Amino acid sequence: MRTRPLKVVLLGCGVVGSEVARIMTTHADDLTQRIGAPVELAGVAVRRPSKVREGIDPSLITTDATALLKRGDIDIAIEVIGGIEPARTLITTAFEHGISVVSANKALLAQDGAALHAAAEQHGRDLYYEAAVAGAIPLVRPMRESLAGDKINRVMGIVNGTTNFILDKMDSTGAGYQEALDEATALGYAEADPTADVEGYDAAAKAAILAGIAFHTRVRLDDVYREGMTEVSAADFASAKRMGCTIKLLAILERAADGESVTARVHPAMIPLSHPLASVREAYNAVFVEAEAAGRLMFYGPGAGGAPTASAVLGDLVAVARNKLAEATGPGESAYTQLPVSPMGDVVTRYHISLDVADKPGVLAQVATTFAEHGVSIDTVRQQGKDGEASLVVVTHRAADAALSGTVEALRKLDTVRGVASIMRVEGE
């Protein structure tokens, strides 16, 4: 057992960072045994130094994160500031000063993961980020390491706790969108700017990270098709219920059947109530990974919140500390397949389309013809009429997204179609 401590700095001490500090203190003896050396919290960089931070020695607090990293005696930096800057510069500075990094920052990893991995490799240091995807759930390491000998073909799951919390409340209690978002924010689930959650950017960042790991290729945030959940209405939930479904914001990553390309997308989707993802409540996340030899694996657990996320950060801290003592580093980026990311138009799935139409003879035939002309086959149609107007709900068989978009464009041009009330993909059947 080494007695000289490994020195750790916390960059950020908010919802996640404060829990990391608390666990580092309360579990210090166990961490020492598991690592083989004590870990000492040597500094905490924040934005507002005067804020009271329970359980943290005030002498450790600084606003000068860069100076902390340049001290010359730091072994590991934990970045839990979030966002692009100053996090990116600080992580790079850490590597340049021989410091390994644990980060929970999915936005940064999705945007600049390749450069950060390259910097880590160049300086012979670790970059671990289990907490960046799906909170407490061990997912990044199992995919990066345990499944490294298998071939992952598909990943589908709920990877944003805030939006799952909101959708669950809307569905189960009839709560309004804003009320549910406020509750999720108060519970520490939402990002500093919750637009990142509700517009799907956070889930898209996680999708990019997972796709890169799953398919050993580079997938950036811009490669991920993204739709948020702000347009999901009570009417959509009612429609979903009639079909025996609920609505979830899903991340879906697929390797094409010929293995030559991949797709990555995030959008709300109807899923059958019988599907395991339908019963994922509150801020929980769940991810299915389909691998050639392993078959279907499901990862489930708390997807957000201070303590659950800190658990993942601490797991990484132990791994990186062990590597440091062994004078080794963990796995770096694996992007050797260089597969292209296909556009959303190539994705094949089913659709639920809700139309407001004139309630008169021939409308149904006109609508059906439009679907047929674009090669989209209809599975079911439900019509409800009232005072000369009607709502028409069409559920299709599997079709390419580009064909569906063409159909909707043509439907909008029909005189008898007053509007397209909603379009939702149907998954998990």
DSSP per-residue codes, 312-350: HHHHHHHHHHHHHHTT--------TT-PPBPPGGG-EEE
Q: How far is CA 317 from the centre of its chain?
A: 21
Residues in CB range of 127: below 8 A, 6 or more apart: 91, 95, 100, 101, 103, 116, 117, 120, 332
CB of 205 to ligand HSE, least distance (A): 9
Residue 163 carries which side chain, given as an amino acid letter?
T
Q: Which range touches ligand NDP (CB under 6 A), out of 43-51, 229-237, 271-279, 324-332?
A: 43-51
Alpha helices in 286-429 (DSSP H): 306-325, 363-373, 401-413
Q: Which does 197 bind (CB under 5 to 8 A by kind): ligand HSE, ligand NDP, none?
A: ligand HSE
Pick the closer one to ligand HSE by CB: 205 or 289: 205
Among 41, 156, 190, 213, binds ligand HSE (CB under 6 A): 190
Has 151 been annotated as catalytic?
no
Our finding on whether 197 is near ligand HSE (CB under 6 A) is yes
What is the CB neighbour count within 10 angstroms for residue 281? 13
Residue 311 backbone class (left: φ over 0; alpha: ψ -120 to 50; beta: rest): alpha
Q: How far is the CB of 286 from ligand HSE (least distance, A)?
A: 12
Binders of ligand HSE in range 107-136 (CB under 6 A)? 135
Specify whether the CB–CB gap between 352 and 423 falls below 8 A.
yes
In the complex, the smallest distance separating the C-beta of residue 188 from ligand NDP, rounded to whole angstroms, is 5
Is residue 100 within 8 Å of 79, Cβ to Cβ? no
**Binding of ligand NDP by 17 (CB under 6 A):** yes
Does 79 participate in binding ligand HSE (rule CB under 6 A)?
Answer: no
Could you say whether residue 228 binds ligand HSE (CB under 6 A)?
no
Pairing relationship of beta strands 295-302 and 389-396 according to DSSP bridges: unpaired
- The letter for the amino acid at 301 is G
Which among 76-84, 172-180, 287-295, 315-323 is the span making contact with ligand NDP, rule CB under 6 A?
76-84
> Would you count residue 236 as binding ligand HSE (CB under 6 A)?
no
334, two tokens: 């694996």
When asked if residue 311 is in the footprint of ligand HSE (CB under 6 A), the reply is no
Considering 7, 169, 206, 248, which one is annotated as catalytic?
Answer: 206
How many chain residues bind ligand HSE (CB under 6 A)? 11
Q: Which residues are catalytic?
A: 206
Summarize as ranges the residues that interact with ligand NDP (CB under 6 A). 12-17, 45-48, 51, 65, 80-82, 86, 104-106, 131, 135, 188-189, 191-192, 304-305, 309
Summarize as ranges the residues that interact with ligand HSE (CB under 6 A). 135, 160-162, 189-191, 197, 202, 303-304
